[in-house]
C-alpha cells in the first residue's frame, strides 16, 4: 500500500484518538512538577476527541474534507498549551491536503512539515525539547524519506517516521534540564506520538496498546544537592497583547534579488514582528517562506517585495471565518453593555468570590481541567459586552484565551493572570469608568505584586529546588518552585509563609474542599502569632487537590 484514501485516513484518525484515550492517564503522569494536576494527556485527548466528533458530523469520506473537519474540531476543542499546539499541527494536515484525493508518502511528509511550520509559528518563543521538537524531527525525517527513489510501502514509511519521533522524544531531557531532573520525557511529545502510534496501528491492523509509565535516567544521585529551577518563561509562552491580528498571511518570496543577504532576511523578520505575531520566516537567499498574523497584510507584502518576487500568496480573514460560525452567538451592538469580565476558576467558593467582585461569567476550569478555546469563546459571547476582560488564572489557559480572543466579535482583553489570587487582585482593580487600555494596564499592574503560595501533596518522589520530595509529602509552591516541605499541612504553610512574608502587609488564605473552616481559622491564628504585622484573612475556596491557595501582598 503506497496511498491512503479518505475512508482509511478517517479510520486512522479515530484510532489515534482512541489510543490517546487509553493512555491519557500515563501521559498526565509525565507532568514535570510533582503536583496532582498533570493534565497534558487529558488536554490533548479533549482536543482530538472534539476533532473526531467534527469529522463524524461532517460525514464526508473525501480526504481533504476529513482533514479540514478534524482541524476545525481540534481548534474548537483545544485545551491548554499542548492542545493548542496539537490543533495547529493538524491544521497543517488540512492545509497540505487541500484539493487532494489521496495521502501519498510525499503528501504525508508535506502534512507533517506544514504542521510543524504552523505549530512553530503559533509560539513566539519556541523552545526545543518539547512537542515542537518531536513534530519537527518527524517532518524532517518524512521529507528526507519521501525523496528516495526506492519504492516504499506506506506502513514501512510511517514506522520509520514514528521511530524518529520516539528517538528524539527520548532526547528531550537533554534539551530541557527540567525534564532530566524530574526524570521524564516531554509529556506533549509523548501525547503526540501516542496519537500517531494509534494511527499507525489502525493502518496495519494491530491492536492498540497501553504504554507503560516511562522515566529517563535522572541526572542526580540520591544524595545530590543539585537544584532544579523552573524557567521564568512558560515553555510554550506567547506574547499576550490585546491587539487582534486579523489576517493570517502566508506566501513565498522567490527569485530573491542579488543584493539580498541573510542579514537582510533577519531585518525583514524583525519588521514583521512589529506589525503582527505568530511570525515565521524560514529559508535562505534562494527561497523564503513567510507566515504572519497581522492587521496590515499590505505592509507584509510590501516588505517582502523589497527582497524578491511573491508566490503562493494566501490571506485569510480569521475573524470573518469565525463570525460566520458563531453568527448567532452575540446580540446586536445596541444590546451590548460597555464592559464585562470573564474569569476561569475552580471551586465553589472561588466562583462565589469572583461573582462578588462583579465578574459576569465564571468558567469552571483550572489546574485539573483547562477549558477549551470554544468554551472560553462561548463565555465571552455570553458576557454580551463591547469590551470584555478575561482572567485565565492559570498559565496553561492563557494561550487558549488568546486564541478565543482572536475569534470573538467583541473587543477582548486577556489579563495574563496565572493563578486565582492574581485574578482576584486584577478584578478588584477594574474600573468601569476607565478606558479599556487603562483598565488592562491597571489590572495587570495590580496583580504584579501578588505572591501566590499553593499547598498540596506530592504525587511522586522527586528532587527539586534542593528538596528531596517523597510521594505524599505536603509541599509549598511559589512561582513554580518548591519552597517548603513537611509531613504536616500547617507546618508546610508556616514554612512557606516565612519565605515570602517579609515586608508584606496582607495574607489571604483560600481553603480547599478537603479543609474545614475550623482548621483554616486555627492556622490563621498561628500565622498571625508568628507575623505580628501581617493582617490575615481566610475564605472558603473549595478548590480540589490544593489544601490552601494563599495570596501575600
Q: Over 361-404, what HEC string results?
A: EEEECCCCCCCEHHHHHHHHHHHCEEEEEEECCCCCCHHHHHHH
d(CA 198, CA 208): 6
pLDDT of residue 334: 52
Walking along the chain (553 residues) 10 residues at a time, the average pLDDT comes out as 89 94 88 65 90 91 94 82 86 94 95 93 80 96 89 92 95 86 87 95 90 46 33 36 65 90 87 80 71 87 94 80 53 74 94 93 81 89 94 91 89 95 95 94 93 92 86 91 94 95 92 94 95 93 93 93
| Residue 208 DSSP label | P
What's the CA angle centered on 61, arms 55 and 65, to 5 degrees? 60
**109 alpha-carbon distance from chain centroid:** 25
Cell numbers standing for residue 393: 488564572
CATH 3.40.50.510 maps onto the chain at 326-439
Which residues fall within 8 angstroms of residue 275, CB to CB, at 6 or more apart?
Answer: 292, 294, 295, 296, 299, 300
E strand intervals along 209-336: 247-254, 276-283, 287-294, 309-317
CATH of domain 451-552: 3.30.1180
Residue 456, helix vs strand vs coil: strand
The answer to whether residues 83 and 372 touch, using CB atoms and an 8 Å cutoff, is yes
pLDDT of residue 333: 54
d(CA 227, CA 115): 36
**176 alpha-carbon distance from chain centroid:** 17
How many of the other CB atoms lie within 10 Å of CB of 302? 11
pLDDT of residue 124: 65
Q: Which helix (H) or strand (E) holds 389?
A: strand 385-391
Contacts for 443-447: CB closer than 8 Å, 24+ residues apart:
443/389, 443/415, 444/415, 444/416, 447/415, 447/417, 447/421, 447/422, 447/423
The answer to whether residues 38 and 187 touch, using CB atoms and an 8 Å cutoff, is yes
d(CA 87, CA 212): 25
pLDDT of residue 323: 57
**334 alpha-carbon distance from chain centroid:** 35
CATH 1.25.40.340 maps onto the chain at 3-204
CATH of domain 326-439: 3.40.50.510
CATH 3.30.70 maps onto the chain at 247-322
pLDDT of residue 38: 56
d(CA 243, CA 542): 35
d(CA 530, CA 440): 36
Question: What CATH number does domain 3-204 carry, 3.30.360.10, 3.40.50.300, 1.25.40.10, 1.25.40.340?
Answer: 1.25.40.340
CATH of domain 247-322: 3.30.70
Cell numbers standing for residue 102: 489521496
Residues in the chain, overall count? 553
Phi, psi of 428 (to 5 degrees): -65, -30
Amino acid at each position: 500500500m503506497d496511498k491512503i484514501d479518505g475512508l482509511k485516513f478517517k479510520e486512522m484518525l479515530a484510532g489515534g484518538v482512541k489510543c490517546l484515550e487509553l493512555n491519557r492517564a500515563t501521559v498526565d503522569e509525565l507532568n514535570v512538577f510533582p503536583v496532582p494536576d498533570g493534565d497534558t494527556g487529558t488536554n490533548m485527548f479533549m482536543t482530538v476527541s472534539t476533532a473526531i466528533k467534527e469529522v463524524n458530523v461532517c460525514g464526508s469520506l473525501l480526504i481533504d474534507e476529513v482533514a479540514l473537519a478534524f482541524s476545525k474540531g481540534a481548534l474548537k476543542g483545544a485545551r491548554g498549551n499542548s492542545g493548542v499546539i496539537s490543533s495547529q499541527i493538524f491544521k497543517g494536515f488540512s492545509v497540505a491536503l487541500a484539493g487532494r484525493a489521496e495521502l501519498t508518502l510525499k503528501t504525508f511528509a508535506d502534512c507533517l512539515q506544514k504542521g510543524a511550520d504552523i505549530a512553530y509559528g503559533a509560539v513566539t518563543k519556541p523552545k526545543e525539547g518539547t512537542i515542537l521538537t518531536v513534530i519537527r524531527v518527524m517532518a524532517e525525517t518524512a521529507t528526507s524519506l519521501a525523496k528516495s527513489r526506492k519504492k516504499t510501502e506506506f506502513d514501512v514509511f510511517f514506522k520509520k517516521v514514528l521511530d524518529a519521533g520516539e528517538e528524539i522524544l527520548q532526547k528531550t531531557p537533554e534539551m530541557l534540564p527540567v525534564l532530566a531532573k524530574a526524570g521524564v520525557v516531554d509529556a506533549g511529545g509523548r501525547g503526540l506520538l501516542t496519537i500517531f502510534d494509534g494511527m499507525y496501528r489502525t493502518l496495519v491492523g494491530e491492536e492498540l496498546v497501553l504504554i507503560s509509565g516511562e522515566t529517563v535516567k535522572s541526572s542526580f544521585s540520591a544524595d545530590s544537592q543539585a537544584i532544579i529551577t523552573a524557567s521564568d518563561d512558560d515553555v510554550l509562552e506567547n506574547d499576550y497583547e490585546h491587539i487582534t491580528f486579523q489576517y493570517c498571511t502566508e506566501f513565498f518570496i522567490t527569485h530573491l534579488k542579488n543584493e539580498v543577504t541573510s542579514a537582510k532576511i533577519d531585518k525583514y523578520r524583525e519588521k514583521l514582528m512589529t506589525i503582527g505575531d505568530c511570525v515565521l520566516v524560514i529559508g535562505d537567499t534562494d527561497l523564503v517562506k513567510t507566515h504572519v498574523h497581522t492587521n496590515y497584510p499590505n505592509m507584509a507584502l510590501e516588505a517582502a517585495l523589497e527582497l524578491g518576487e511573491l508566490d503562493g500568496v494566501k490571506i485569510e480573514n480569521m475573524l470573518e471565518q469565525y463570525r460566520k460560525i458563531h453568527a448567532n452567538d452575540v446580540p446586536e451592538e445596541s444590546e451590548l453593555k460597555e464592559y464585562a469580565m470573564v474569569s476561569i476558576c475552580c471551586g465553589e467558593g472561588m466562583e462565589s468570590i469572583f461573582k462578588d467582585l462583579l465578574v459576569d461569567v465564571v468558567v469552571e476550569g483550572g489546574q485539573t481541567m483547562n477549558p477549551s478555546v470554544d468554551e472560553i469563546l462561548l463565555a465571552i459571547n455570553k458576557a454580551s459586552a463591547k469590551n470584555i476582560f478575561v482572567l485565565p488564572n492559570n498559565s496553561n489557559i492563557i494561550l487558549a484565551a488568546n486564541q478565543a480572543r482572536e475569534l470573538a466579535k467583541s473587543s477582548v482583553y486577556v489579563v495574563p493572570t496565572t493563578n486565582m489570587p492574581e485574578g482576584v487582585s486584577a478584578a478588584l482593580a477594574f474600573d468601569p469608568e476607565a478606558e479599556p487600555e487603562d483598565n488592562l494596564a491597571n489590572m495587570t499592574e495590580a496583580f504584579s505584586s501578588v505572591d501566590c503560595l499553593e499547598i498540596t501533596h506530592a504525587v511522586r518522589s522527586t528532587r527539586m529546588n534542593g528538596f528531596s520530595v517523597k510521594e505524599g509529602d505536603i509541599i509549598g509552591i511559589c512561582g513554580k518552585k518548591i519552597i517548603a516541605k513537611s509531613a504536616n499541612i500547617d507546618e508546610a504553610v508556616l514554612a512557606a509563609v516565612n519565605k515570602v512574608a517579609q515586608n508584606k502587609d496582607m495574607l489571604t488564605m483560600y481553603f480547599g474542599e478537603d479543609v474545614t473552616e475550623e482548621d483554616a481559622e486555627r492556622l490563621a491564628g498561628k500565622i498571625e502569632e508568628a507575623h505580628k504585622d501581617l493582617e490575615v484573612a481566610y475564605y472558603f475556596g473549595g478548590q480540589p487537590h490544593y489544601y490552601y491557595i494563599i495570596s501575600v501582598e
